Amino acid sequence: MAADRPPYWRWELDRWKLMVTALLILVVLIGLSRGWQAAPPTFIIPTFTAPAPGAQLPAAAPGDVIGSAGPGDTVRIFAGDVLLGETQADAAGAFRFTLPALAAGEHKLLARTFGPEGVLLATSAPLKITALGEVAAVPAAPRATEPAAPGPRTTPTPLAPPATALAGVQATPPTPPVAPAVSPTPTAPVTSPAPPSPSFTSLTDGAVLVSSELIVVGGMAAPDMQIRILERAVAAVAAETVAEANADAAGHWQVDLSALAPGLHTLLVTAQDAEGNQVSAAAPITFTVLALDRPAFAQPATPLVLVENTPVEIRGTATAGATVRLFAVDQPLGDAATGPAGIWRVLLPGLAPGEHTLTVGALYGDGKLLMAVAPLVITVLPLEAQPVLIHPAEGSRVHSCQPLFLGHALPGRVVSIYDLQVLLGHVLPEADGRWALRPNTPLALGPHTMTVVAVVDAEGHALRSRPVTFRVEAPAGPCLQPGRVAPVLESPAPGSAVSSDRPLLLGTATPNSVLRIYDAVQFLGEAEADADGRWSFRLDLPLTPGRHRLTLVPMEGHSKEGNPRTQLDLEILAP
């Protein structure tokens, strides 16, 4: 039968096999090429869930901090600028870190998440705790040849034998074991342990720093040991000394490397003990210094409060010409180019009600992001939260010096009505949000611009209504005389912050009138306006740091307080 087959039968079968195999390889290559497309960067801002803010913990054993971050993120815990250690979030994003012994006093903890290449992703809000009691001396770190204590929650700096030290750096050979002496009473000989190798604690391999910021590098070593930081060039074998320092009595050391040029750097820390032995870190640390300014938000640190469907312009700073990207958690909101003055702007449409945490990053390299340290929190309220002045209407004319004001606001929140800067009164809206107020002070003839201010939350954040302008004409009752004006504070500007706790107040009022000045209900003193209506007042007693509500009350005669009164806010900064 084999002799009857055509001579080319086997060749035809092999060709089909080759065609099928080639087709399968093509399908695999197409699938792989699609799988290699980079996903957009996503990250979650870390948060602390325990302990509670302001917690008082024992200094010797503060316990654990617990929080959440992105699943699998590397989380580094800092006390101020000092790195305490790192851990890794699990698949659900939860992380736990055991705090080391802390010095007695107040500490500000931060959780920072880093990507696979050591790029900073996000920083948590600070968690303030207080460490109580005295702390015993912290033992020196174990030698590289000794097994480290198990620590499933934290990642200590690894110490390996310095067998691959740089040229010119001598590594300390391991101390050979000493046999115990034989005597009637067996005793083990007392030997001095080799000093621990120095290590980096505030700098990790692959980290990304910026040249515009203070670059301070710290670590641990044996107490009172002399530390030397060496830099190795990319193509060089030898290393050059870039900084020196001495470890303190607790083994901490710190150097300023802000003079490093932008680019890739490889550092090695070495030290010389009291006996002249030289030790080195387990491995060099390689990191990048960028010639960029870290992007930041220009808005104040206090949360912004807006109403839904209200566009808002978000502003900030970055390196001139850099492209920044704005995020709401991990959702990109838009890109913007930084202008020549280092200012960027992103106009956001109306946001949905709720709390929004915004972050910003500057693009560099192959689509990488240099993230801002502090996020911006915006609270968006529903439309009904914004107060509204319904009557008098815009552009209307009223024939009363004490018109009835009608409006709408959130129920249960205090509403204040202002004629420019002059406070006319307060009112509490009804359960359905409606409110009504008739001012005790008659209004002067002419135009008036009214604004309604409503407190919207327990923190004291307030929303303003749109201003409404109307005219008072042909009053049926008494009105203010044309020469009588409401007192005004010109300096410092109302709502501003001043560094002096006894600021000089300057303003205007009715000529030759007397003003009483109050801080809430506390009487501060009296000021007398001159013939031009100018007055000044210097406080006798200092004001405490914080926000103060001042009231300017004109006097009618020697002892009667009159109207109209002016209320304004000033903030005294801490010295």
Asked if 467 and 504 sit in the same domain, the reply is no
At 77 the pLDDT is: 92
At 109 the pLDDT is: 92
Last residue of a domain, one of 381, 408, 427: 381
What percent of the chain clears pLDDT 90, i.e. is strictly above it?
9
Q: DSSP per residue over 230-282, as a string?
A: EEE-TT-SBEEEEEEEE--TTSEEEEE-TTPPSEEEEEEEEEE-TTS-EEE-S
CA nearest 550: which of 500, 501, 495? Answer: 495
Is the link from the previous residue into 100 a cis peptide, with omega within 30 of 0? no
Asked if 205 and 285 sit in the same domain, the reply is yes
The CA distance from 527 to 522, in Å, is 15
At 140 the pLDDT is: 39
Instruction: Name, of 174-178, 212-216, 345-349, the range with top average pLDDT.
Output: 345-349
Question: What range does the domain containing 544 cover?
Answer: 488-572
- What integer is the mean pLDDT of 373-392? 86
Q: Examine residue 156 and state whether it is found in any structural domain, yes or no.
A: no
Asked if 307 and 387 sit in the same domain, the reply is no
Asked if 250 and 315 sit in the same domain, the reply is no
* pTM of the predicted protein model: 0.43
What percent of the chain clears pLDDT 70, i.e. is strictly above it?
75
Q: Examine residue 391 and state whether it is found in any structural domain, yes or no.
A: yes
Whether the per-residue pLDDT at 115 is higher than 80: the answer is: no
- 461 or 506, which is more confident: 506
At 32 the pLDDT is: 59
Side-chain half-sphere CA neighbours of 312 within 13 A: 20
End-to-end CA distance of the chain: 107
- 19 or 107, which is more confident: 107
Give per-residue pLDDT as tens, 440-487.
Answer: 778 888 899 999 998 877 666 788 888 999 998 866 555 555 456 778
Indicate the pLDDT class of residue 354, thresholds 50, 70 and 90.
Answer: confident
Last residue of a domain, one of 362, 381, 400: 381
Indicate the pLDDT class of residue 97, thresholds 50, 70 and 90.
Answer: very high
At 276 the pLDDT is: 63
At 66 the pLDDT is: 92
Asked if 461 and 407 sit in the same domain, the reply is yes
- What integer is the mean pLDDT of 505-514? 86
543 CA to centre of own chain: 29
Q: Examine residue 481 and state whether it is found in any structural domain, yes or no.
A: no
- 330 or 274, which is more confident: 330
The CA distance from 51 to 72, in Å, is 22
Q: Examine residue 9 and state whether it is found in any structural domain, yes or no.
A: no
Q: Count structural domains, the chain.
A: 5
At 92 the pLDDT is: 85
Return the sign of the alpha-carbon dihedral for residues 186, 192, 197, 199: positive
Q: Examine residue 4 and state whether it is found in any structural domain, yes or no.
A: no
